[in-house]
Amino acid sequence: MGLFDDFSRFLETKLEEFLRSNPHLELQAIEEQLKEQEEDTLRLILEIQKQEKTLQAEILSAAQEIQRWNDRAKKAKAAQRLDLAQAAQERQAALLRQGNQRWGQMQGCKERIERAKELYRQIQSRRKEVRSKAAEAAAAAQTTTKTEQNWDTKGWNQSYNYNSFNAADPLEDKFQHWEAQEELDRMKRNMGR
């Protein structure tokens, strides 16, 4: 694991150096993180809204059950069945407690949704600021060192899927061909001596 940790630290250091020397890319990376946070917040809002709908359905169901047991309690009292009336009222009270708990949970969901929506708005605002700063930094980087920025940061916006078993990597093929050609040229020079 030590080798993996060392390699991981090396990569982090190189990435930090690269981003410091290319601030527009650092801002772009921050914007990507904010985009992910924005998407996570939206998923959270949808999940809480789903919980709220479930709780609303449970509250409605509890209300219907409370009404049913209330009617039964009245019917039992009218029939002078006080034992059944008492049991029906106890059931009604238990359902009422359960409904109140669900109501409290639903109110908690509503509060969480509002907090998540506020967080979402803050993330959107921050992302807009970062996007604007990134555009300014990219424009500044283009005007100062267009050729350096072109080759140094070109790969940043391209995805690459590293697969050691992938034999059809055109860049790898080009380098192998170039390295083999250089080795061949070196051997020819050495033989010509």
What is the radius of gyration, based on Cα positions, of the chain?
A: 33
Alpha helical stretches, state H, 79-154: 82-144, 146-152
Q: Evaluate whether 19 touches 25 at the Cβ level (below 8 Å).
A: yes
> Phi, psi at residue 102, to the nearest 5°?
-65, -35
pTM score, whole prediction: 0.59
Distance CA(102)–CA(85), nearest Å, equals 25
Which pLDDT tens digits describe the chain residue by residue (193 residues)?
567 777 678 777 876 777 677 666 777 878 889 899 999 999 999 999 999 999 999 999 999 999 999 999 999 999 999 999 999 999 999 999 999 999 999 999 999 999 999 999 999 999 898 888 888 877 777 776 555 545 555 665 566 565 555 557 787 888 888 888 888 888 778 877 6
Place of tokens 């047991």: 69
